[in-house]
Amino acid sequence: MKVVLLGAPGSGKGTQAELLCRGTGVAHISTGDLFRDAIHRHTPLGKEAQAYVLAGELVPDRVVIGLVRETLRTLEGQKDFVLEGFPRTLGQAQALSGLLAELGFSLDRAIYLELADSEVVARLGRRRVCSNCGAIASLPPGTSRGRLSCELCGNRMVARKDDRPAAVRRRLQVYHQTVQAVLDYYRESGLLSRVSGAGSPEEVAERVRGALLVATG
Ligand code: AMP
């Protein structure tokens, strides 16, 4: 399985990638997570990406394509992956095809999680991440405050800085400016499946698995 998950910020890409990969040995690659980790560790990549990530802007293609190239190279042999948060621009999608060809891989499917903006904004307002292990959780629907502890490691869960309203508005704007070209690219390659991102993570996961089964026969 070599899959990319596309969709708005907050559409559930990270959660679905986690559900697809859990216990399977399939690599979960999230460019957002790679940037957050680099920022946390103050690496040169983190220093370069930080201002973009906090403002809800895209990190330049040159930087993110280099990062994905390095990450894919570390996959051994035929290793499968779910790539999430990348590609976000047509240039990234074209570069990914080139990178995969260099490695002798080809993409099985691009799955697009569709979700209305109003639901995206509501979900991002409730999203919390573990300050220690990065696990994702949500406050109950209808709430925007409250304490959560991580179910995996017990640490405090916090809101991401770029889930604040101004950054969310900008991220959605950028997303709408760039997504169509990426969808057209994969539709024209015959690789695109559109899946509703509405409902519980398990309900969405069923649809995603269904789309992958149809794709791989
Ligand atoms: P995410 O966790 O996928 O929402 O990504 C968080 C932030 O990381 C984005 O708002 C961008 O600043 C940056 N980022 C992640 N993936 C990409 C990408 N493929 N291209 C450019 N910037 C990215």
Mean pLDDT of the 99-106 span: 91
62-81 pLDDT per residue, tens: 999 999 999 999 887 668 99
Position 78 scores a pLDDT of: 65
* pLDDT at residue 200, as a whole number: 93
- Torsion of the alpha carbons at 168, 187, 209 and 197, rounded to the nearest 10: 30
Indicate whether residue 35 lines ligand 1 (CB < 6 A): yes
Give the pLDDT of residue 215: 67
Centroid of ligand 1 to alpha carbon of 217 (angstroms): 32
CB-based contact 204:16 (threshold 8 Å)? yes
Closest CA to 128 of 118, 140, 119: 140
| Residues linked to residue 194 through DSSP beta bridges, in sequence order | 112
Does 18 have pLDDT greater than 80?
yes
φ, ψ of residue 216 to 5 degrees: the values are -100, 0
For the cut 70, the answer to whether the pLDDT of residue 216 exceeds it is no
Indicate yes or no: pTM above 0.85: yes
Q: Which residues contact 61 (CB under 8 A, 6 or more apart)?
A: 89, 91, 92, 95
For 100-106, what is the mean pLDDT? 90
How many alpha carbons fall within 13 Å on the CB side of residue 80?
14
Rounded to whole angstroms, the Cα distance separating 201 from 198 reads: 9
For range 25-54, the mean pLDDT = 93
| Ligand 1 touching residue 9 (CB < 6 A) | yes
Question: Mutation test of ligand 1: which of 35, 48, 50 has the most ligand atoms closer than 8 Å to its C-beta?
Answer: 35
Task: Identify the pLDDT of residue 135.
Answer: 86
Residue 77: per-residue pLDDT? 67
